[in-house]
């Protein structure tokens, strides 16, 4: 059994499945080409029935089924399978959709012109022949290929215990590489790759990256990612389509479309409304029509990931070298071809030399006869028969004359020269007897001499070829140039330096986006300029379409090229560029996050963090985490630089806990936590108070001690300012007095609901212990203002100096006083804001308002605030976030805010509410 199986395995390896490195063909392909040449089915003849060619191959050389022979012939005629077609077919030879070819009785074929470069000179003893299966015919062991067909057309096959998969290449580039290697045999692989940068697939497409190519050319094995060529076209107003014009090699176009349709039906890929094939004789065109709110780049990237629009070609350059299977790199294949082609040239020269010597031998006899024609004629006339005449011609010596140097040139061992006289051989005597009388004319005598000179010159050339390696390389170069001119075609496969998993940011217009996330896990991005500023107390606009009772729970603004970290309710982190998120109109519902983050599972996104666009800043930044239960933790941002697609554990959470915020911070800054029941705490970020955690698997430490039904709703990071308690209190009184004086000067009669009446004097200079102007200006420059918003749309700004810095883990201080239910029942959020910027507020019904913070007056931290957003009935504000814009926009918005505030009166604010606000602002700070 062992010997039988080994014999079978070697038969499959050598005689069926693996190509020969010399001509790049398997036995079946070699037999088809040779049989068609022997039958005269060449490119300059008429087409013949394919069945006839298959019959000749099967009857003479290939003892297997006709279907295997016909399938091999069909493949050599398909332009999408072969980089250079070897068979010229007429009829239905299949399609790139996987359609079967017509039966061989219906199709016609002949050799393509390119096949002649594989078969030329085969009759000139250039290759060895072997008996066929029944020893009734002989077949070539290899074809005398004039170009490296193994690299040009590639090969694939599965043998016993081994397989091969060689990609096709551009014929011009491969031949140029051989020419360069002939000129400089010491070329390195890097120099060769400048000529042959990579495979050139007949279906085009695009190779992503060069690492796989380099590995394959060096070791013979590698993986090359190949991506389809697709463009985004606007097919009609506001409707786009992805148009695929080239697909990866060996991908079935019909199967590809079926796979896309299955993904759409299973909702793994959303945003596709229709798929149609518009391919015709002019080329491939698969149109994937998108829905109105779909992002073409995101849909295309998903198709690259989940379909064969992007594949990996696994290179395994295994071929037969001198009858043995061998894995070879690019240089090995080219060297093997050069050695083989030099051997072909030598064998052909040797064959032609023998032919030329035989002809020169006869010509010498004829020239001698013509030179002594009278004696030759007399001898022949006197001879009784031809045999006697031949013997007499051979027995007599003839003057060598001018042919003696020629005899030495052709190394004629048959002629014997004695004292300048030549004895003819039997072949020469027969040639003389067969000489026609017309050859005796003067013109024919000149032709004989001219032919003899030509043969002499040819023999000299052939001897030079046989004796000089340099001359053989020159011949090879000339023949390669001829093949290059006939096979010259431009490269169709583009090679991109980008990796297959790299995002194409060059396709994305930079700009500011508002990203919105709903409770049910829908996300979208909307250009910021779609939201116009409104004055305080406006009615807002619809922010997002909703499914059922779905509501917006999180919003932020970021640049399209920023990285965004997503933190799930389960404590995992995900990373994505903003432009990867689906773009949609303000009223659109967005896309499901589970489609963008496939590993999210049943978790929901509870915290989102846009990272600095300049990644060099990441090394100096830390992340501070806060949970609803009041825990905090600090990690280095670099711990989250590499996040796999399946996510990364960011923080270990206790049962029932969740992340409510993540922010970037530096050593020495302050952490500010605000709770739902209007408590707040501020503590400094130091190694003693909040150390840097080495791992990501801990639950952190306590940041604030909460009441029974309370939870943390906001986290922000403030700059730490060294100021004493006395200075802080004096500064707050002076700053309030100056703000009241400025507001009175601007508003005239004033907006009663906007004025923070603390009961203190407006003249800051009269305050006991007033700060110097220099110290006041210094503290004012470092002051940060915190905006606090309630669920009923009330809010106010307060100085960060109003929140003392304490230790970590305390109960905190009062953040806001709810004098009436109308002013709020719980705090939605507290955040740091800057003059000239805007904030956005979102309600549970999906309404959104954009409000300049300059319209919100600065008040005591215990004040109940003023109306920022008029809500309807049971409608509640659920989210508030800041908006940052350019300096020009900031200036314009600030100017508009002042004008709007001057003309705004809160007519709905009752006297009772105003009195309550007055009472709240005069309360003492019991917590301090």
Give catalytic residues, as residue numbers.
106
* H-helix or E-strand spanning residue 557: strand 552-559
* DSSP one-letter string for 318-372: EEEETTEEEE--HHHHHHHHHHHHHHHHHHHHHHHHHHHHHHHHHHHHHHHHHHT
CA distance 711 to 650: 21
809 and 705 in contact (C-beta within 8 Å)? yes
Which of 205, 220, 249 minimizes the C-alpha distance to 315? 220
CA distance 789 to 868: 8
Which of 316, 330, 318, 314 minimizes the C-alpha distance to 225? 314
CA distance 476 to 588: 68
* HEC letters along 715-761: EEEECCCCCCHHHHHHHHHHHHHHHHHHHHHHHCCCCCCCCCCCCCC
Which of 432, 422, 426, 416 minimizes the C-alpha distance to 402? 422
Residues 6+ apart with CB under 8 A from 788: 674, 795, 796, 797, 798, 815, 816, 827, 829, 830, 861, 865
CA distance 342 to 770: 101
CA distance 518 to 846: 9
Buried (b) or exposed (e) across 215-235, using 16+ Cβ within 10 A? bbbeebbbebbbbbbbebeee
Q: Are strands 622-627 and 679-684 parallel, antiparallel or unpaired?
A: unpaired
CA distance 115 to 378: 55
Half-sphere exposure in the Cβ direction for 62 (13 Å, CA) = 27
Q: E strands of 490-549, at which residues?
A: 494-496, 512-518, 522-527, 541-542
Residues 6+ apart with CB under 8 A from 297: 232, 504, 507, 508, 579, 580
Which of 372, 440, 455, 475 minimizes the C-alpha distance to 410? 455
Q: Are strands 563-568 and 877-883 parallel, antiparallel or unpaired?
A: unpaired
Which of 708, 635, 711 minimizes the C-alpha distance to 673? 711
What is the layout of strands, in order, in the sheet containing 827-833?
Answer: 827-833, 785-790, 794-799, 866-867
320 and 142 in contact (C-beta within 8 Å)? no
């Amino acid at each position: 059994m062992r010997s039988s199986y080994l014999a079978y395995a070697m038969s499959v390896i050598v005689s069926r499945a693996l190509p020969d490195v010399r001509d790049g063909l398997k036995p079946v392909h070699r037999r088809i080409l040779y049989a068609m040449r022997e039958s005269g089915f060449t490119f300059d003849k008429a087409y013949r029935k394919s069945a006839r060619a298959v019959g000749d191959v099967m009857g003479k050389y290939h003892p297997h089924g006709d279907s295997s022979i016909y399938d091999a012939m069909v493949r050599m005629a398909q332009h999408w399978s072969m980089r250079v077609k070897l068979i010229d077919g007429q009829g239905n030879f299949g399609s790139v959709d996987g359609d079967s070819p017509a039966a061989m009785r219906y199709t016609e074929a002949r050799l393509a012109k390119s096949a002649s470069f594989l078969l030329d000179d085969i009759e000139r003893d250039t290759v060895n022949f072997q008996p066929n299966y029944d020893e009734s015919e002989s077949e070539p062991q290899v074809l005398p290929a004039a170009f490296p067909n193994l690299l040009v057309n590639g090969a694939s096959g599965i043998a016993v215990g081994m397989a091969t998969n060689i990609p096709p290449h551009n014929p011009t580039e491969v031949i140029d590489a051989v020419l360069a290697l002939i000129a400089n045999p010491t070329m390195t692989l890097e120099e060769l790759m400048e000529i042959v940068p990579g495979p050139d697939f007949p279906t085009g497409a695009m190779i992503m990256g060069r690492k796989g190519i380099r590995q394959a050319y060096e070791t013979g094995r590698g993986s090359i990612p190949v991506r389809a060529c697709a463009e985004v076209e606007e097919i009609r107003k506001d409707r786009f389509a992805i148009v695929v014009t080239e697909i990866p090699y060996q991908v079935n176009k019909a199967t590809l479309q079926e796979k896309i349709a299955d993904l759409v039906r299973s909702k793994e890929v959303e945003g596709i409304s229709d798929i149609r094939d518009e391919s015709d004789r002019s080329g491939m065109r698969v149109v994937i029509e998108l829905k109105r709110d779909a992002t073409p780049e995101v849909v295309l990237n998903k198709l690259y990931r989940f379909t064969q629009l992007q594949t990996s070609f696994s290179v395994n350059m295994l071929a037969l070298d001198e009858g043995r299977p061998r894995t070879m790199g690019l240089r090995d294949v080219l060297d093997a071809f050069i050695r083989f082609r030099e051997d072909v040239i030598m064998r052909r020269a040797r064959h032609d030399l023998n032919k030329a010597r035989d002809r020169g031998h006869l010509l010498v006899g004829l020239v001698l006869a013509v030179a002594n024609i009278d004696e030759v004629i007399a001898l022949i006339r006197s001879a009784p028969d031809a045999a006697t005449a031949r013997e007499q011609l051979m027995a007599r010596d003839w003057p060598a004359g001018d042919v003696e140097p020629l005899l030495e040139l052709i190394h004629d061992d048959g002629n014997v020269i004695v004292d300048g006289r030549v004895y003819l051989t039997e072949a020469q005597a027969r040639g003389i007897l067969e000489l026609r009388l017309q050859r005796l004319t003067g013109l024919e005598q000149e032709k004989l001499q001219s032919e003899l000179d030509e043969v002499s010159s040819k023999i000299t050339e052939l001897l030079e070829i046989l004796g000089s390696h340099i001359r053989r390389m020159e011949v090879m170069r000339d023949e390669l140039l001829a093949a290059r001119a006939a096979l010259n075609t431009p490269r169709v496969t583009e090679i991109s330096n980008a990796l297959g998993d790299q995002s194409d940011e060059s396709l994305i217009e930079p700009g500011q986006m508002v990203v919105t996330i709903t409770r049910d896990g829908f996300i979208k991005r909307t250009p910021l300029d779609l939201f116009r500023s409104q004055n305080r107390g406006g009615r807002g606009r619809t922010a997002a379409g909703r499914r059922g009772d779905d509501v917006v729970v999180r919003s932020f603004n970021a640049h399209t090229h920023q990285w965004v970290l997503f933190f799930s309710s389960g404590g995992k982190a995900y990373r994505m560029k903003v432009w990867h998120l689906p773009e949609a109109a303000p009223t659109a519902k967005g896309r499901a996050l589970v489609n963008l983050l496939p590993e999210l599972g049943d978790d929901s996104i509870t915290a989102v963090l846009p990272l600095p666009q300049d990644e060099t800043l990441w090394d100096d930044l830390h992340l501070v985490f806060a949970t609803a239960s009041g825990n905090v933790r600090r990690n280095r941002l670099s711990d989250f630089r590499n996040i796999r697609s399946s996510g990364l554990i960011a923080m270990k959470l206790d049962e029932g806990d969740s992340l409510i915020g993540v922010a970037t911070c530096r050593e020495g800054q302050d952490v500010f936590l605000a709770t739902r029941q209007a408590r707040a705490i501020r503590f400094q970020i130091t190694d003693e108070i909040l150390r840097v955690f080495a791992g990501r698997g801990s639950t952190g430490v306590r940041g604030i001690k909460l009441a029974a039904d309370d939870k943390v709703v906001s986290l922000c990071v403030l700059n730490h300012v060294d100021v004493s308690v006395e200075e802080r209190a004096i500064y707050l009184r002076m700053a309030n007095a100056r703000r009241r004086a400025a507001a009175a000067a601007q508003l005239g009669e004033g907006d009663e609901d906007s004025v923070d009446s603390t009961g203190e004097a407006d003249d800051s200079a009269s305050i006991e212990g007033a700060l110097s102007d220099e110290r006041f200006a210094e503290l004012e420059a470092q002051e940060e203002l915190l905006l606090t918003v309630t669920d009923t749309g009330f809010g106010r700004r307060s100085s960060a100096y109003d929140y003392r810095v304490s230790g970590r883990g305390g109960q905190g201080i009062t953040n806001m006083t709810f004098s009436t239910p109308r002013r709020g029942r719980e705090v939605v959020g507290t955040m740091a804001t800057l003059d000239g910027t805007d904030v956005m507020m979102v309600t549970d019904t999906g309404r959104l308002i954009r409000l300049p913070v300059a319209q919100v007056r600065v008040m005591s931290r215990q004040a109940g605030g003023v109306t920022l957003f008029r809500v309807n009935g049971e409608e509640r504000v659920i989210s508030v976030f800041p908006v940052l814009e350019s300096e020009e926009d900031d200036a314009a918005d600030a100017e508009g805010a002042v004008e709007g505030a001057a003309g705004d009166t809160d007519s709905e604010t009752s006297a009772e509410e105003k009195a309550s606000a007055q009472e709240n602002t005069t309360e003492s700070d019991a917590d301090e």
